[in-house]
């Protein structure tokens, strides 16, 4: 193995998985980095929403530090930032634009962006909505690591000015996402935070089938669903499911639903972490369709595709157990070979190591960094 890297990550959240997929994505990647001997400091803005709902306040695979404001964190970790082999900032980090500008002014050895929301980011920038990243900042990064691959990468370089765009799909912790062998409890389920642009698909591919199949059992787990939604009597609701319970949840379903946000469908090549988690647990997946999905999971061999309510009803009613298990097993084999946290971390570390190192300015105080 090459020399272990010292990496500093600014991310939305590592400590709390409540209402975000960033935490589970970072956990799998950072556990993988630790397994390969790399050293990681994760810096998380201490915000009330996550502070009150932390399910991993003290990880054993990296150092986790909370901070209150940009100047405080830069000053407190000045030496580590200077010496780090790479500093990575993720999407949706609070005060992200201010933080990026101040980090870029430091001339770090390597400075990268990890966009766990690439199609959403691009759509926001196209509307002039600069929340956590300004369009002018994209060329500042040595590499733009993207949740989405395929044609999105060339667009990032051609249209948005990225110096180098690289796919960094989410991944799964293969030791924690394993089929539990529990008895099946639901015929069909879904795990995901409420999203207005996912809801029509959820209604078409789960709620409507539940209405047509009253003798079947369904479940939807995730927070922030409005009280106005009318759930059929055979749909069980779980408000929040911590990551420690995900494997059990998937293992008790015959099929699980994968629903993709509209921006992700438009971009293609944007597999969600839930897709890999369910597959790792050998749960058969029924998914909506988007470009690039078939390259990850061959249709009919490792995943089932449903476009309309009738497709789901047909799959739930007429798929025999042997085929269901064969498709689920094929998906699990693909994930364990290509999409574990360790596999992703190995590729990520290699990609970081190949980036050129900027010479560091000497004797520069972080207090002098312009606002």
Q: What pLDDT is stored for residue 368 in this prediction?
A: 45
What single-letter DSSP state applies at residue 203?
Answer: I
* Pairwise CA distance, residues 349 & 115, whole Å: 16
Q: What pLDDT is stored for residue 360 in this prediction?
A: 63
HSE, side-chain direction, 13 A CA sphere, residue 76:
11
Q: What pLDDT is stored for residue 363 in this prediction?
A: 45
Sign of CA dihedral 179, 296, 224, 60: positive
- Quote the tokens at residue 28: 């799998």
CA nearest neighbour of 180 among 241, 239, 244, 240: 244
CA separation (Å) from 292 to 204, 296, 346? 22, 7, 23
CA nearest neighbour of 20 among 65, 54, 57: 54
Q: Which residues in the chain land under pLDDT 50?
A: 362-371
Query: Which domains, ranges and CATH numbers included, belong to the chain?
Result: 6-171+343-368 (3.40.50.2000), 186-339 (3.40.50.2000)
Q: What pLDDT is stored for residue 364 in this prediction?
A: 45
CA nearest neighbour of 148 among 215, 77, 213, 91: 91
Burial of 71 (C-beta count, 10 Å sphere; 0-12/13-18/19+): middle
């Amino acid at each position: 193995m090459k020399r272990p890297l010292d990496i500093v990550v600014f991310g939305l959240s590592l400590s709390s998985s409540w209402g975000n997929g960033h935490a589970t994505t970072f956990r799998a990647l950072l556990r993988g980095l630790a397994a390969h001997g790399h050293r990681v400091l994760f810096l998380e803005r201490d915000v009330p929403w996550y502070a009150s709902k932390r399910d991993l306040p003290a990880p054993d695979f990296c150092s986790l530090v909370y901070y209150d404001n940009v100047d405080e964190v830069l000053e407190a970790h000045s030496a580590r930032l200077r010496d780090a082999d790479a500093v990575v900032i993720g999407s949706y980090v609070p005060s992200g634009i201010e933080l990026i500008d101040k980090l870029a002014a430091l001339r770090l050895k390597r400075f990268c962006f990890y966009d766990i929301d690439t199609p959403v980011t691009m759509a926001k920038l196209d509307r002039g909505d600069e929340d956590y990243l300004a369009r002018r900042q994209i060329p500042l990064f040595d590499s733009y690591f993207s949740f989405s691959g395929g044609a999105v990468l060339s667009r990032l370089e051609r249209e948005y000015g990225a110096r180098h765009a690289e796919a960094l799909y989410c991944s799964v912790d293969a030791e924690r996402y394993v089929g539990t062998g529990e008895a099946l409890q639901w015929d069909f389920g879904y795990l995901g935070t409420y999203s207005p642009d996912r809801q029509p698909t959820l209604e078409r591919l789960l709620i409507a089938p539940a209405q047509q199949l009253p003798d079947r059992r369904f479940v939807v787990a995730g927070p922030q669903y409005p009280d106005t939604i009318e759930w059929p009597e055979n749909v069980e609701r779980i408000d929040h499911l911590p990551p420690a319970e995900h494997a059990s949840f998937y293992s008790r379903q015959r099929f699980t639903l994968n629903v993709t946000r509209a921006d992700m469908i438009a971009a293609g090549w944007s597999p969600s972490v839930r897709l890999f988690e369910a597959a790792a647990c050998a749960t058969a997946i029924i998914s909506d369709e988007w470009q690039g999905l078939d390259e990850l999971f061959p249709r009919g061999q490792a995943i089932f595709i449903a476009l309309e309510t009738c497709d789901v009803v047909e799959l739930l009613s007429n798929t025999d157990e042997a085929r269901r298990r064969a498709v689920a097993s094929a998906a699990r084999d693909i994930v364990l070979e290509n999409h574990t946290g360790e596999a992703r971390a190995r590729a990520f570390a290699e990609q970081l190591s190949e980036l050129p190192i900027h010479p560091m300015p000497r004797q520069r105080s972080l207090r002098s960094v312009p606002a």
